[in-house]
Structure 1
Amino acid sequence: MNEDENLKPFEGEHFYERQDDPESGDTITKVTGMYKDWFLDYASYVILERAVPAIEDGFKPVQRRIMHSLKELDDGRYNKVANVVGHTMQYHPHGDASIGDAIVQIGQKDLLIDTQGNWGNILTGDGAAASRYIEARLSKFALEVLYSPKITTWQLSYDGRKNEPVNLPVKFPLLLAQGAEGIAVGLSTKVLPHNFNELIDASIKVLKNKPFTLYPDFPTGGVADISGYNDGMRGGRVRVRAKISQLDKSTLVITQIPFSTNTSTLIDSILKANEKGKIKIKKIEDNTAAEVEILIHLPPGVSPDKTIDALYAFTACETSVAPLGCVIENHKPYFVGVSEMLRISTHRTVDLLKRELEIQLDELEEQWHFLSLERIFIENRIYRLIEEEETWEGVIRAIDEGLKPFTKHLKRPVTEDDILRLTEIRIKRISKFDIDKAQEKIEALEGEIAQVKHHLEHLIEFAISYFQNLKDKYGKGRERKTELRSFDNIEATKVVLRNTKLYVNREEGFIGTGLKKDEYVADCSDIDDVIVFLRDGSMMVTKVDVKTFVGKDIIHVAVFDKGDKRTIYNMIYRDGKSGPSYVKRFNVSGITRDKLYDLTQGNKGSQVLYFSGNPNGEAEVVTILLRQVGSVKKLKFDLDFANLAIKGRQSRGNTVTKYPIKKIELKEKGISTLKPRRIWFDDTVQRLNVDGRGELLGEFRPNDRLLIINQNGKLKTIIPELTTHFDEGMIVLEKWHPKKPVSAIYYDGEKERYFVKRFLVENENKEETFISDHPNSQLEIVSTDYRPVAEVIFSKVKGVQKENLTVDLENFIAVKGIKAQGNQLTTDKVKQINLLDPLPYEEPAEEVPEEMEVKGEENLSGDEEQNITLDEDGQITLSLE
């Protein structure tokens, strides 16, 4: 019998019992029902007691016990972490390793614990030294916001020997400041860290009933796209990137890294991407210490901008973090967003502050009560009434009777405990009692009582003041580290390194990277697609592989870019074996991979007579030679593809001739017939695009360039590539007009004077500095208007204010070279310089380049008529009849 057939389910149970097997003689005792609940008990224990923080104070149990132990050990001096671990084990029923790791994690967040020694480095991933070598003590911030024994609820420790706090009375959104991560049984939590000052500002907004938003701020810095944050709840996602900039033409520098990575893992991912051929680097230097500095040296000829995008696409320079807000509330898991966490924390802080004020008021009133009693007792010599009393009861009664005439103004009745305290006053204190000083103390207490009552009556204002005080005391140096910015999606195929070669065997119909003995086509990567055109007029797009059969008689093969609409294919084909010939121009965008498309009319025997692929819409001129058939008069004529409109790949095309074509020869190479490309700049993602997002920079032809001017006084012109990265200090980005001058006013640090200069950008391939190189030199204003105007506001001199000066920069100085110093603006002390509206100027019309001219009308073959029209897009449409 099969072993499983011996298993029989218990009635009402979810597990099995093995029956006695008479053949083997074995007898197995039934499993008891106690196992039924063990998994649930274990899961509940892990969730509640180990992995998930409490909403009340933001601590997991081990963290709370560590902070309690640190408070018990606190004497202002550092304690060995090993000692703290041992002390915490009185409360935590687990090993010392888990406690030591938890202390290091808290200490590395640099908020609650002052650390001394090697506590590791979150940037490099280096671990902390052994607990016997490092020391810790509570920070001033922790002492102020974490502890208040009089309002703390206590419980017995696991062995019943000690008292430990159920929750610490934390008066700050600590969970959101530190973040938390834990994996329990059946659920997990991941609360991302937030900025200290922003949390306080948000808490104040909660108390003022104002709207607020919270976004994460990571200790490693970096750049984060929080568009999918979803308030930190399940389903949200945050993309985080390293901060990468170009140090020089062949060097990139990483100065901040994404959250959840370190320099070691980051460098490993870069090296792996390099080994796989996704990127190409020369070497990496890690100079990280207190700040991240990873230098990436590039080989000659490798684009820095493209490499930056490739680093984001193929390495840990971009990571995705999935937040999951889960906390413990009322001994149950509670899934909640960060906004609600902050509201709960803020209202709990108000409640704790109220309880502290109430306790403080009770203590002050109790002090006032006893000081008043003490004054009555001594000032009215009531102590003399007990001299003749022989019993203790008589003493108590005598004092009680003696006080009665003087206690009407007291706020509560006199109790026996009050009288007992009066009997404990020493004779020396009575003899030195100063009525005036006693009254001063009472009045001072009355002032404090009034202040506490005022705080209770205006509790929200008091809480706001409390939060503001925390920010003023501890907020300095805790500014936001992570820059928030929307990211553009990087297409891997556009930035991957072309690290292998594509070959083709045209006759047999094979393409691939393994055909090294055949014709070389282009460099490619293993994630590229390839487009193939065959002699029979069919087309296919397929993925790069070692060897792929696509069809015999290949006439054109190239690496395919799915989104490229500027690559135009010019084609002449014969319809069937003896039909007329047609001409068409088309692009290829949307396709299904590995599907065979027919670009002819589908008749058997159709053949492509001429084909060209043109990356920028070039339109060549070809000569068509006809066969001598019948009464054909004109056997030779030219066809200009510029006269044809660009249509879909499925269009039939226009008739070239109904006679057989003998030969087609290239007469003249093509020039672009496409409209100039319109380019926009999206300031949100700091990227160029052709999709209409952001500010329109203009229409760009192949040789047009962008002018970039930075605040540091440097400028350059570049070809507008969509992968270009821009510096943070960029103040001018526009289409460059070579004959348009740049005007600038700058402060010369060496001569301590302001200078004006106007110049043309003549060296288009070099970055140049147009202000003096003194460390104190700085650019004040810069303009690319033809006739800019500036306003100079002077500083007061001996109480005298000079009138503002308006400067017409065109008349102030002539256009000179970029290296010229310029003319001195003024000798007076300048307070501010503003750029005003420019003077009217009519810009000269742009010259239309030769390649944009429309070709003249002419017959294709002499025996057919043609109709040429201009469609709405400005494209030439030619139809033949």
Structure 2
Amino acid sequence: MQEENQPKNNSENHSEETITKVTGMYKDWFLDYASYVILERAVPAIVDGLKPVQRRIMQSMKDLDDGRYNKVANLVGHTMQYHPHGDASIADAMVQLGQKELLIDMQGNWGNILTGDSAAASRYIEARLSKFALEVVFNPKTTVWQSSYDGRRKEPINLPVKFPLLLAQGAEGIAVGLSTKILPHNFNELIDASIKHLKGKSFKLIPDFLTGGIADVTNYNDGKRGGKVRIRAKITQLDKNTLVINEVPYGTTTSSLIDSILKANDKGKIKIKKIEDNTAAEVEILVHLPNGVSPDKTIDALYAFTYCEQSISPLCCVIEDNKPIFVGVSEVLRKSTDHTVALLKQELEIELGELEEQWHFASLERIFIENRIYRDIEEEETWEGVITAIDKGLKPHIKHLKRAVTENDIIRLTEIRIKKISKFDIDKAKQYIESLEDKIAQVKHYLANLIEFAIDYFKNLKDKYGKGKERKTEIRIFEDIVATKVAMKNAKLYVNRKEGFFGTSLRKDEFVTDCSDIDDIIVFLEDGRMIVSKIDSKTFVGKNIIHIAVFKKKDKRTIYNMIYRDGKAGSTFMKRFAVTSITRDKEYDLTAGNKNSKVLYFSANPNGEAEVVMVYLRAIGSIKKLKFEIDFADLAIKGRGSKGNTVTKHAVKKIELKEKGISTLKPRKIWFDDTVQRLNVENRGELLGEFTAEDRLLIITQSGTIKTIIPDLSTHFEEDMIVLEKWIPNKPISAIHYDGEKERYYVKRFMIDNPNKEEVFISDHPKSQLEIVATDYRPIAEVVFSKRSLENEIVNFEEFIAIKGIKATGNQLTTEKIKQVNLLDPLPYEDPEVNSVDVIDEDDVSSKNNDDDEGQITLF
């Protein structure tokens, strides 16, 4: 606390600081408040997985449980006897608990976690405990009680939950100085993990969300601090102009998702025509695209710029022994499972004690009636005499009992009614005692084999309640989406080459290309300098720009060919290089570094093309040959910092392009990673082959569609894709299909006539289906019929039918029902020889700044 004191001397103004210590009740208030919020409001207990308000809600529902639904308003009011807070907070907590679909059986409008719609008022909705909650959560015999906040009632310190409830439901809370965020996990997987723990086996837990979606849990880190889970909406392509979102990421709703898509569209990050929200019981959001917009690129853009992808940082903080601790979800499951075993043991011990007490009194009752000891009390006139007489009568018969007879036991015997004594059946009494002995033996067996008993308990839970609780969230490994590669071209790039300006506002100057407002721009200047800068409305980089383009990071296929003069009158050099990585806004000198150097020829080649140029020299002195050719294909690709090879020591008049070149880069190897359903060039998955700029991929789906595409690493593939390979134009496609209209099986062979068009090669009848497709030159198939009396048939496609058009139905195979078709080894076929050419491996293209000079080769 600071105070300002008035100066003693009016001519001298100054301030003094004084410190006032906080004492009395203020001293501990903050610590008390922080402890209260942590322990009593925000963080769940590890023992039962519930926060105090949730525990009190559950206890109130148990108090009022009669098998029928109760108004939530009534339940909330009853909970206020335990919970010292308002009804609104209790009602909200109850709705959240119910929406997790585990402990509460709901009736009425409880809201929608998919759309974000709120629940109806508590007076309109009803609830009761689920059968699962009644079996797993409550047992008054094993519950430890404490006084409620006003001392009028008893409430449980913790509920005896015999299940990893905390991990099944998840939890989130913000306290003072700490927070918790525990993600929900799959019901059945938690039970399987508990069983594995009891068997001493290792297990791994990964989250599962009621909203479904796709999750990458590579960095989950067992739910500890520092982990991360990436969650995506499930997006599929309905047709070339429509995308469908069927599942939303955890933590989002259809409303917030649509809002984020509209905002991204307004900012120009993506281009959409309109959105339709058809969500009811299940999510269905239709995203309509304008003509000419790539669905694949839009899917990636949705993940990059909207709530279609979310990143969640879990933090598992729980209360144990009345203090917060940070643990992993595996440790939470181990502790929960061990606690369940302890509770099961406690229940068995209680049951054993009750059974032994029943056996003890049943035995005493039998002795008392069978030996007519009740007659010994007829002459007794006092109560003490009655007790003594019965005790004396029992002594000869109680040696087999497991404990001594107490006065309370004798008093209970005196309470037996005459009617029961008169109808006493010795045989039934023996049978009852024997049944008790069997039960006691069984309970003792369970206690002796407690782990096996616990395993059976968990298995029983899974059998009774596990149906309908299968995993909803698909687990995949996500590829990283580079925002600049998927952003829609929402800006136009202009350049003033002479003055050295570029940007989006120079509309009176030269148009360069459409681009995104998050792109980097690479610029080459006549003096040999290069710079990469973020796109802006107007940026100055230097006068006399000779080349400008959108910069692609890690691009090894774009090769720059350059000839420059070293200094004002030095030799001329040539070089080939790629620019794969840079520091933004840093100037790079691509010449030898001498003042007044000048670029005489420059070209940017997206596929490593190497052209032929004509060099013209000035007629100075005794030069005999004033022009000569240079082929860039003869020059190796080096680093951008290399000096280059000497072209000539004489003065160059001009350089002209003589002949355009072909690519000197080796065809690119492309792999398909089935885990992420994406193409890649990093050796992940199955190698599809080597692809030049003209090569295409063949894609066939189970629904009978076929198409070829130019390989693009951002391509999304349909879930029913059955063929993905390099397309060979002269290779026929063979298929056996069922025609639903004609109710017959047909064989067809065809070629793809239009590689740019997606076509369906089976009929559009609802019952039509593709049995098998083969892409071998000479395939053989075995047909197995449903009738056992019919022998399998071998089909040689080449002999069965000639190659026809894609729309042809084909030749009839059979009208009999086919059980299955198996592809056999194809007949041998020799591929035609292909002439090879010398090319440069793309991996050999250096991306480093190499300032060392190359070998100096003087051409002229």
| TM-score, with structure 2 as normaliser | 0.93
Cα 1:340–1:287 shift into 2, 3 Å: same
Cα 1:35–1:414 shift into 2, 3 Å: same
Q: Per-residue deviation at 1:145?
A: 0.2
Deviations 1:251-301 (A, max 9, x none): 111111111111111111111111211111111111111111111111111
Q: Given the alignment, which residue of 538, 544, 547 partners 2:535? A: 544
Q: Given the alignment, which residue of 215, 218, 224 partners 2:206? A: 215
1:125-204 to structure 2, matched below 5 A, reads: 125-204=116-195
What residue identity is the alignment partner of 1:355? Q
Q: Per-residue deviation at 1:578?
A: 2.9
Q: Given the alignment, which residue of 265, 268, 272 partners 1:281? A: 272
8 A contact 1:17–1:31 mirrored in 2 = no
Q: Distance in 2 between matches of 1:373 and 1:751?
A: 84
**Residue 843 of structure 1: SS of its match in structure 2?**
coil
Cα 1:413–1:812 shift into 2, 3 Å: farther
Match of 1:861 in 2: none
Q: Given the alignment, which residue of 845, 848, 859 partners 2:833? A: 845
Q: Given the alignment, which residue of 826, 830, 835 partners 2:823? A: 835
Instruction: Indicate the percent of aligned positions where both proteins have the same amino acid.
Output: 76
Q: Given the alignment, which residue of 54, 58, 66 partners 1:63? A: 54
* Greater CA drift, 172-181 or 378-387: 378-387
Q: Per-residue deviation at 1:426?
A: 1.8
What residue identity is the alignment partner of 2:239? D
8 A contact 1:644–1:878 mirrored in 2 = no
8 A contact 2:557–2:606 mirrored in 1 = yes
1:669-684 to structure 2, matched below 5 A, reads: 669-684=660-675
What residue identity is the alignment partner of 2:803? V
Cα 1:151–1:769 shift into 2, 3 Å: same
* Greater CA drift, 648-657 or 86-95: 648-657
Q: Distance in 1 between matches of 2:760 and 2:19?
A: 87
8 A contact 1:179–1:190 mirrored in 2 = yes
Match of 1:821 in 2: 809
1:641-656 to structure 2, matched below 5 A, reads: 641-656=632-647
8 A contact 2:277–2:286 mirrored in 1 = yes
* Greater CA drift, 476-485 or 275-284: 275-284
Cα 1:544–1:873 shift into 2, 3 Å: closer
Match of 1:693 in 2: 684
Q: Distance in 1 between matches of 2:331 and 2:103?
A: 23
Q: Per-residue deviation at 1:199?
A: 0.3
* Greater CA drift, 186-195 or 286-295: 286-295
Structure 2: runs of 5 or more not aligned: 7-16, 847-854
Match of 1:732 in 2: 723
Q: Given the alignment, which residue of 355, 358, 362 partners 2:349? A: 358
Match of 2:555 in 1: 564
Q: Per-residue deviation at 1:789?
A: 3.3
Cα 1:407–1:832 shift into 2, 3 Å: farther
Match of 2:297 in 1: 306
Q: Per-residue deviation at 1:879?
A: 4.3
Q: Distance in 2 between matches of 1:78 and 1:219?
A: 24
What residue identity is the alignment partner of 1:608? V
Q: Per-residue deviation at 1:793?
A: 4.3
The answer on 1:36 being equivalent to 2:27 is yes
8 A contact 2:666–2:842 mirrored in 1 = no
**Residue 166 of structure 2: SS of its match in structure 1?**
helix
**Residue 447 of structure 1: SS of its match in structure 2?**
helix
8 A contact 1:645–1:878 mirrored in 2 = no
Match of 1:81 in 2: 72
Match of 1:629 in 2: 620
The answer on 1:335 being equivalent to 2:326 is yes
1:239-638 to structure 2, matched below 5 A, reads: 239-638=230-629
Q: Distance in 2 between matches of 1:753 and 1:373?
A: 82
Q: Distance in 2 between matches of 1:468 and 1:344?
A: 19
Q: Distance in 2 between matches of 1:174 and 1:133?
A: 28
Q: Per-residue deviation at 1:878?
A: 11
1:14-29 to structure 2, matched below 5 A, reads: none
Q: Per-residue deviation at 1:826?
A: 5.1
Q: Distance in 1 between matches of 2:85 and 2:316?
A: 26
Deviations 1:809-844 (A, max 9, x none): 444443333333344555665444333333433333
Match of 1:13 in 2: none
Match of 1:723 in 2: 714
Structure 1: runs of 5 or more not aligned: 7-15, 20-29, 855-868
Match of 1:105 in 2: 96
**Residue 772 of structure 2: SS of its match in structure 1?**
strand
Deviations 1:625-658 (A, max 9, x none): 3333333333344333333332222233333333
What residue identity is the alignment partner of 1:475? G
Q: Distance in 2 between matches of 1:836 and 1:368?
A: 72
8 A contact 2:578–2:845 mirrored in 1 = no
Match of 2:10 in 1: none
Q: Distance in 1 between matches of 2:806 and 2:569?
A: 67
Q: Distance in 2 between matches of 1:789 and 1:542?
A: 58
Q: Per-residue deviation at 1:806?
A: 4.5
1:735-750 to structure 2, matched below 5 A, reads: 735-750=726-741
What residue identity is the alignment partner of 2:221? N
Q: Per-residue deviation at 1:573?
A: 2.1
The answer on 1:704 being equivalent to 2:692 is no
**Residue 31 of structure 2: SS of its match in structure 1?**
helix
8 A contact 1:224–1:240 mirrored in 2 = yes
Cα 1:879–1:744 shift into 2, 3 Å: farther
8 A contact 2:2–2:18 mirrored in 1 = no
Match of 2:13 in 1: none
8 A contact 2:665–2:841 mirrored in 1 = no
8 A contact 1:572–1:608 mirrored in 2 = yes
Match of 2:3 in 1: 3
Cα 1:831–1:248 shift into 2, 3 Å: closer
| TM-score, with structure 1 as normaliser | 0.91
Q: Distance in 2 between matches of 1:570 and 1:353?
A: 78
Match of 1:864 in 2: none
Q: Distance in 2 between matches of 1:314 and 1:487?
A: 16
The CA RMSD measured in Å over matched residues stands at 2.6
Cα 1:749–1:459 shift into 2, 3 Å: farther
Q: Per-residue deviation at 1:305?
A: 0.8
Q: Per-residue deviation at 1:791?
A: 3.6
**Residue 646 of structure 1: SS of its match in structure 2?**
coil
Q: Distance in 2 between matches of 1:583 and 1:440?
A: 107
* Greater CA drift, 214-223 or 650-659: 650-659
What residue identity is the alignment partner of 2:802? A
8 A contact 1:582–1:657 mirrored in 2 = yes
8 A contact 1:245–1:252 mirrored in 2 = yes
**Residue 150 of structure 1: SS of its match in structure 2?**
coil
Q: Distance in 2 between matches of 1:209 and 1:226?
A: 24
Q: Distance in 2 between matches of 1:871 and 1:33?
A: 76
* Greater CA drift, 437-446 or 209-218: 437-446
**Residue 642 of structure 2: SS of its match in structure 1?**
coil
Deviations 1:738-789 (A, max 9, x none): 1112233344455555443333233212222233434344434333222333
What residue identity is the alignment partner of 2:469? R
Q: Per-residue deviation at 1:321?
A: 0.5
